[in-house]
Amino acid sequence: MEETIYIRMRHRVQIRPNDTVLLKDIAQIIAHERIHQDLQNLKVYTFKAQDNNIIIIDVMEVIEKITRAFNSVEVQAIGPSQSIIEVIYQKKRMSVPFFVLTWLLLFFGSALAIIYFHEDVSMQATQQKIYTIITGRVEARPLIFQIPYSIGLGLGMILFFNHVFRKRLNDEPSPLEVEMFNYQQDLDRYVSLTENKESMKRIDGH
Amino acid sequence: MVIKILFVIFVGLAGGIAVGSGFVAFLAVLGIIPRLTQLTKTMKMIIWYQWAVVAGALIGGMGSLRDPAIFFPSLTLIPLGLAGGIFVGAMAAALTEVLNVFPILAKRIGIEDKIVVLMMAFVFGKIFGSLYQWLYLVGR
């Protein structure tokens, strides 16, 4: 008799290193009571030392494991077709200096942005104004502000795209990589719709 | 007289709301704050970053409208300049990201794996251009 098992992969799962990932960790399961328990404790993945901190488990892998362990079952997969497993090496502690730095960065950045807006978007007038506010003196060329500002411009860009810290502590992609991916997806969607003659049908047949 | 004053207050408030909400909306579209929290792993403190932006905008607004002076040594300006530059640089980077500049350019000239080199050109161009303006062009 064929039995139907319904599984729904969880989107994102966190594990500790050296954990064994069971089916119940990465998926919701509906099955007959008789095999439910065994199904829950089915080993899906064992952590390996050389693993990155992100592992993707595809639903096909899971179905293969289930059909190998239980014969005469039919697996119905619902929802996401893969799970993202995130290995947490140590409890993330919040770094206070980073927080303070980011806070100050946003604070002074917004202050500068508003002064810039009020000064009729003239960066030179903005810098002269800030010089006067801080030191109380008037200076036509506040180089002590302008040179760090110029260096900061480049730093900010690098920071945003995160390319200096190439030895990334985690495998999270940089915004640039995500952006390249999105652009490629847009192109793929465009060609798959426009190059396929069957995808659109017009009244006059052209 | 009272009506005049009330009207002026109302107009001022309305203008402030328009500028403030525009500023915040612009920041939200560019996504600088999520990016910074992701880099520093401080997602939980995001509410404080929100207040940093609000406080910064308020202090900046007061500074530009009321001409105060706090008589600090001019060395204080170095970190301020750096912070301002990083903020503007991150904004510029976010803007190029929104506009898909890098992906299109890299695909056109076929150097998708050397995109870092392309980005460094932007970075050094910004630093050089800015230094050139403040050190040479302005004083000419």
Q: Region of A121 please: left (phi>0), alpha (psi -120 to 50) or beta.
A: left
pLDDT computed for residue B97 by the predictor: 81
Residue B76 has pLDDT above 80, yes or no: yes
Is the model more confident about B83 or about A174? B83
Give B37→chain A minimum CA distance, Å: 8
* CA–CA distance, A20 with B2 (Å, rounded to integer): 74
Return the number of CB contacts < 8 Å for A and B.
Answer: 266
CB A162 within 8 A of CB B135: no
Q: How far is CA B69 from CA A53, A132, B77, B81, in A?
A: 51, 6, 13, 17
* CA–CA distance, A146 with B84 (Å, rounded to integer): 10
pLDDT computed for residue B51 by the predictor: 94
| Spatial CA neighbour of A55 closest among A65, A45, A66 | A45
* CA–CA distance, B140 with B137 (Å, rounded to integer): 5
What number is the ipTM of this complex?
Answer: 0.86
Give A101→chain B minimum CA distance, Å: 9
The structural domains of chain B, with segments of one domain joined by +, span: 81-140
pLDDT computed for residue A177 by the predictor: 78
**Mean pLDDT for chain A?**
84
* CA–CA distance, B17 with A154 (Å, rounded to integer): 32
pLDDT computed for residue A164 by the predictor: 56
CB contact under 8 A, B59 and A162: no
Residue A170 has pLDDT above 60, yes or no: no
Q: Which tens digit of pLDDT belongs to each residue from B21-68?
A: 999 999 888 888 888 888 888 888 889 999 999 999 999 999 988 888
By the CB < 8 Å criterion, does A53 face chain B?
Answer: no
pLDDT computed for residue A75 by the predictor: 87
Residue A30, Cβ neighbours under 10 Å: how many? 13
Which tokens is A155 given?
Answer: 């730093």
AA letter at A144: I
AA letter at B10: F
pLDDT computed for residue A206 by the predictor: 56
CB contact under 8 A, A136 and B23: no
Q: For A59-121, where are the E strands, in sequence order?
A: 73-78, 82-87
Buried b (16+ CB within 10 A) or exposed e, B14-51: eeeeeebeebeeebeebbbbebbbbebebeebeeebee
Q: Which tens digit of pLDDT belongs to each residue from A108-149?
A: 999 999 999 888 888 899 999 999 999 988 988 899 999 999
Q: For chain A, where are the E strands, in sequence order?
A: 3-9, 12-15, 20-22, 27-30, 43-46, 54-58, 73-78, 82-87
